Structure 1
């Protein structure tokens, strides 16, 4: 049993052990892979040799340790300074040349293999130093060969051609080594014998000579141009003098013409001034006349406005009186007429005679007033018509005497005058018709109507008779004198009645008595056109009843 238990426990540990071993083996394999993985930057190239020859650039790859070898070479630019001293030119002149070259390993597999084969070293730095040394030697040798084939003047004056020739010769040579010459430039060309300086002096002398010749030619051309300019200036001066003389002559002719034209224009202007002055005087007179007419029209308009205000006031007063009369009639109808309806049938026969008499007299008075108003209206109408005709004739006479502009103003004035005349005409017609109607009404006045007018004035007559008594401050009475004082007003009033009867034939006493009798018998009389008379009668009857 113990053995079996131990066996079963050992059996349970086997999977765990296998798992641990697998994990350790996996980690070991991954670690080995990471160690074998080589990364190469963009500016470098790695050459792998051993099992399989290959190149890795700008990336990474697996390299088996022990079985494979790696060499790294730079693909970047390498700058080299190349100097040659005392190099003989084709003329035998020793010169010193200093230049700068830029080279690099060409980024192709063939070039990289060629470079790694020819330039040895244990690391990248040794390989780059080897490239710099060998290429510098090659450049110096080729540079000496090229200098020996050219003159000093060619080298000094045409450096671009010299650099191009160096690149052509050296580029082919180092291209076989897997390299390329990116650029070559000459920094300086010099000699210790003063040959180049002598060339400069000669050129300077030639340049000075050329400059002197050019200056002499310029002076010559300047002198020639000055002479030509002087000649042209003199010619221009003479031409200018000729033109000035011609201009002066033309100016004198023009001045004479101008003076002649000015005198002619002045004469015309004087004549035009006189004509315009006459026209202006006429216009001033016309304007003054027009102003007077306008002033007169304004005055007439003011008078017309005042008259319209007065007419409106009278119309309002008439309407007020009519309303008051209507109110009085309504009050009388309520207070007196309706209570008197019971007695009206009984006394109708007695009142008919007096009623119709009063109606006739009231109608006569109304007709007289109407005729009077018509007469006044006709008179005003005739007067307005005559005035309008006079204004119209005056405007037409003034219009015929003016110029075209005066005619327009005269027509405007005539139009205003006609409008004013029409307004005055309308007013005059109304007043004339009123006067005419009033005159006709006066013709139709009967004795009763005249008596009615006199009765209306009796209170004023009595007031005038009693007025002197009101001025007496102190009265002394002796005996029966008090009766004389109290009877003074009735006595004088009775004498007035006698005077009216003797002068116009109207018996005021009988009329008053008849009126009193009518007041006692007539209480409800309402006939269209005579409301005022009947209302007075009803009022008198009411007082008599009381």
Structure 2
């Protein structure tokens, strides 16, 4: 808009002409916002509020009379309040570069004054104290011209090759070097110990590895030996099992052969012997009956005929016994018992026949007479 002016964020707009609201300021100060300015009747100028820098390189003499070359850097700017802006505008508005030149001169004077009251040792070891005293000494003077100092940094201190600072630092350098050598020696010792420990661990690991490898090899060799023996052992075991089976088969065949001998030879022989004994016993019984019949004159012809047939009956029974496939328990005793049973049965049959077919008119004598 025509006649409306706005200052930059780091500028102060100064409007001159007309009446000012503040009688202490010859012009109006505007910051942070715009303002309508009537052309021709008002004049507008701008003052920078940005940070500025000034360098100082001054030859100073210390309290000990030793010349030092001190370099410093000052960071400053115009104050933010209206009074500082008016003071700075009245001095530097037409040539704002003069602010850095004047600031450097002011600090150079205060730097020479402060260095002259201190020793080299204090200046070297207490740079912050030097900077603080210089700032305090120049603060009031800088405020008068509308400037405020943000910082002061002492960049370097040089004795212009006199060697004083170097000589002053020599004991400290020697101590530092000695400490460095001690630290280096300790570090070397620690490194050597660490290397020895590492080698010891490596040797221990190698030994353990060798032991484990030897154990593994022994186990492998043992397993291979067992595997190599497994074939012959298995073959021997198989042969032994075959021999055991053959032995068992031979035993069974012997038992079977023995049973066959008993069935085919011994039992028939025993049966024949028993038959002979039974026949002999039958003949004896025949003779006994004949004797009893001869003693008793009342026996009929039928009795004699039956007596004569008794050996034949027993003989036929014995013949059937010899041809029969009979299992006889208790050997010869069992066979004897069976033959005696057959004879007894024959006698019972004879007695039954005698009682059943005897004539009714033939008188029978008492048994007692016969037995007599």
TM-score (norm 2): 0.46
Determine which structure has the larger helix proportion and give its number: 1
* Greater RCO (CA < 8 Å, at least 6 residues apart): 2
